[in-house]
Amino acid sequence: MEQYIPKSALVAKIERRIEHNTEWKDACKTLAVLAANQAIEEDKKILSIINSLEVKEVNLEFITGWFDHIAQIADDRMTLTNQRMTDAHALDEIKCLAKNSSEFITKHYKAQKGE
Q: How far apart are CA 69 and CA 97, in angstroms?
A: 9
User: pLDDT of 14-34, one tens digit each?
Assistant: 888 888 888 777 676 676 777
Please count the residues of the chain.
115
The whole-number pLDDT of residue 78 equals 86
Q: Which residues of the chain have pLDDT under 70?
A: 1-3, 26, 28-29, 31, 54-58, 111-115
Sequence-distant (6+) residues with CB within 8 A of 55 are 7
In our burial notation (b when 16+ CB lie closer than 10 A, e otherwise), range 60-75 reads eeeeeebeeebeebee
**Cα(59)–Cα(94) distance, integer angstroms:** 21
CA distance 24 to 40: 11
- What pLDDT shows up at residue 3? 65
